[in-house]
C-alpha cells in the first residue's frame, strides 16, 4: 500500500507469483517436465512476476518434483530478483530441524528471497516409504510445526522434548538472522485453526471459490484473535488456475483438451492403509474450475482476480499456468499474464 499526502491509501499492485507443479503431460518424460518448470520460472522473472511457488509430490506423475526445497535452491541461483517458495514442503515426511536448516541456508545465500510453505499432506504411502508413519501427519503434526518454528525463530539453539521429537540441545547452524516466515497450506478446519493459533498465514488452494476462501480467512482471523495473535495483515496467498486467451471459448477449449488427463494423474495417490483414495468426478471438477477461475480474455482474468482480492482480503496471488499442457502455450500464457493482467491488478488498504 502507498500513502498519498492526503492520508488516503492509494491502490498498489499485489504480489503475484506463479505456482508450478512440474506437471507431466503427454510427450514429456520426467526430465523434460522438470526442465519446463525451470523455463517457466525464468520466464516469470522476465514477465514481471514477483515470485514462484513450487509444489512437491512423491510417487505420482501429477507433479514430478519430489523436493520443492531442492528445486527452489536451483531456481534462486538461476534468477536475480524472483522470490521462490515451497507450496508446499510436506512436513510429516522429514525432520523439521533438517527442513529449518535448509530454509535458513537458502534464505542466507539468496539474500532473503526464499519463502517456506509447509503442508500436512495426506495419508499417503510417502509416510511408509520415509519411515515417519501416519501419526506424523495427524497427532504429531503440531509438534513438528512448533519445532520447525522454533528452529527458524533466530534462537541460537534448538531441542526436542516432545513425544515425537526428542533430542539434546544443539546449535542452530546456520542460525537465521531474523525469524523466518512460514506459510501453512490448509484444506481442513483443524489445519486452519492450527495456523491461526500459531500466527501463520495460509496457502489457499484453487479448488474452492471466493466465498469459501473468505469464510476460511474469517475463521482464521477469529481463531487468531482468540489465541492472542494479530489477526490483521497476514500475507495469505490465494492460488488460481490462470489462462489468457482471446476468447472464453478458446481458453475453455484448450483447457478441456488437456486438463482432464492431467487431473486424472491425481488418482495415482496410494493410501498408507491400502484403501482406495476417494476420486472426484473429473468432468464436474473441470467445469467447476472453469466457472470460478481467471480463464479467458485478459480483462476477464483481471476482474476475477480483483474479485478474489476484494472478497478475501488476500494480498498475494499464485497462478497455476501449466494447464494448457504444451511448453509454447505455457510460455505464451506467462507472457500474456505479465503484460496484460499484472499491470491492472491493485489492492487498497
What does the chain come to in residues?
349
What is residue 11's predicted lDDT score, i.e. its pLDDT? 56
What is residue 175's predicted lDDT score, i.e. its pLDDT? 98
| DSSP H or E run through 126 | helix 126-129
Q: What are the DSSP E strand ranges found in the chain?
A: 2-3, 9-10, 15-20, 51-54, 83-86, 89-90, 114-119, 157-161, 166-171, 182-185, 202-204, 237-241, 243-244, 295-296, 316-320
Backbone conformation region of residue 297, classed left if phi is above 0, alpha if psi is from -120 to 50, else beta: beta
Among candidate residues 102, 342, 23, 212, the one with its CA nearest the CA of residue 202: 212
What is residue 4's predicted lDDT score, i.e. its pLDDT? 39
- What b/e sequence results for 234-272 when a residue is b if at least 16 CB atoms lie within 10 Å of its CB, and e otherwise? bebbbbbbbbbbeeeeebbebbeebbeebbebbeebbbb
pLDDT tens, position by position, 203-233: 999 999 999 999 999 999 999 999 999 988 8
Inform me whether the pLDDT recorded for 252 exceeds 80: yes
What is residue 22's predicted lDDT score, i.e. its pLDDT? 98
- Compute the half-sphere exposure of residue 86: CA atoms within 13 Å on the CB side of its CA: 30
Cα gap 277→260, rounded to integer Å: 18
Cα gap 21→27, rounded to integer Å: 17
Q: Is the peptide bond before 105 cis (omega within 30 degrees of 0)?
A: no
Residue with cell 528471497: 113
SS3 assignment, position 175: coil
pLDDT tens, position by position, 72-116: 999 999 999 999 999 999 999 999 999 999 999 999 999 999 999
Cα-trace Rg, the chain: 20
pLDDT tens, position by position, 254-295: 999 999 999 999 999 999 999 987 788 999 999 999 999 999
Q: In this predicted model, which residue has the larger pLDDT, 13 or 332? A: 332
SS3 assignment, position 160: strand
Mean pLDDT of the residues in the chain: 94
What is residue 65's predicted lDDT score, i.e. its pLDDT? 98
**Confidence label for 347 from pLDDT (cuts 50, 70 and 90):** low
Inform me whether the pLDDT recorded for 2 exceeds 50: no
What is residue 321's predicted lDDT score, i.e. its pLDDT? 98
Average pLDDT of the residues in 36-56 = 98
Q: What percent of the chain has pLDDT over 90?
A: 92
Q: Which three cell numbers stand for residue 223?
A: 481463531
| DSSP letter for each residue of 5-62 | TTSPEEPBPPEEEEEE-----TT--HHHHHHHHHHHHHHHHHHT--EEEE---SS-SS
What is residue 231's predicted lDDT score, i.e. its pLDDT? 82
What is residue 9's predicted lDDT score, i.e. its pLDDT? 46
**Confidence label for 348 from pLDDT (cuts 50, 70 and 90):** low
Inform me whether the pLDDT recorded for 6 exceeds 80: no
**Domains of the chain, start order:** 2-344 (3.20.20.30)
Helices (H) and strands (E) in the chain, counts: 11, 15
Amino acid at each position: 500500500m502507498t500513502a498519498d499526502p492526503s492520508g488516503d491509501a492509494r491502490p498498489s499492485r499485489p504480489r503475484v507469483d506463479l505456482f508450478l507443479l512440474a506437471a507431466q503431460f503427454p510427450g514429456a518424460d520426467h526430465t523434460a517436465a522438470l526442465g519446463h518448470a525451470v523455463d517457466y520460472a525464468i520466464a516469470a522473472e522476465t514477465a514481471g512476476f514477483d515470485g514462484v511457488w513450487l509444489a512437491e509430490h512423491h510417487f505420482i506423475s501429477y507433479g514430478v518434483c519430489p523436493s520443492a526445497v531442492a528445486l527452489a535452491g536451483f531456481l534462486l541461483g538461476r534468477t536475480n530478483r524472483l522470490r521462490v517458495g515451497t507450496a508446499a514442503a510436506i512436513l510429516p515426511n522429514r525432520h523439521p530441524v533438517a527442513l529449518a536448516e535448509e530454509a535458513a541456508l537458502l534464505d542466507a545465500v539468496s539474500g532473503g528471497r526464499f519463502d517456506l510453505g509447509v503442508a500436512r499432506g495426506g495419508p499417503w504411502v510417502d509416510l511408509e516409504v520415509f519411515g515417519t508413519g501416519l501419526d506424523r501427519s495427524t497427532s504429531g503434526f503440531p509438534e513438528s510445526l512448533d519445532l520447525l518454528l522454533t528452529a527458524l525463530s533466530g534462537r541460537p539453539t534448538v531441542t526436542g522434548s516432545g513425544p515425537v521429537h526428542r533430542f539434546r540441545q544443539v546449535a542452530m547452524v546456520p542460525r537465521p538472522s531474523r525469524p523466518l516466515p512460514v506459510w501453512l497450506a490448509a484444506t481442513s478446519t483443524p489445519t486452519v485453526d492450527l495456523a491461526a493459533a500459531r500466527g501463520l498465514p495460509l496457502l489457499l488452494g484453487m479448488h474452492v471459490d471466493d466465498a469459501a476462501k473468505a469464510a476460511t480467512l474469517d475463521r482464521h482471523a477469529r481463531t487468531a484473535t482468540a489465541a492472542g495473535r494479530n489477526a490483521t495483515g497476514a500475507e495469505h496467498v490465494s492460488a488460481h488456475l490462470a489462462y489468457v486467451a482471446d476468447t472464453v471459448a478458446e481458453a475453455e477449449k484448450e483447457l478441456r483438451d488437456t486438463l482432464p488427463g492431467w487431473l486424472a494423474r491425481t488418482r495415482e495417490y496410494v493410501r498408507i492403509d491400502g484403501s482406495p483414495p476417494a476420486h472426484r468426478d473429473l468432468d464436474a471438477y473441470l467445469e467447476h474450475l472453469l466457472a470460478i477461475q481467471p480463464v479467458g480474455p485478459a480483462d476477464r482474468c483481471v476482474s476475477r482476480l480483483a474479485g478474489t482480492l476484494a472478497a478475501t482480503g488476500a494480498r498475494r496471488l499464485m497462478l497455476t499456468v501449466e494447464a494448457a499442457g504444451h511448453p509454447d502455450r505455457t510460455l505464451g500464457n506467462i507472457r500474456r499474464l505479465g503484460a496484460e493482467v499484472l499491470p491492472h491488478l491493485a489492492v487498497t488498504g
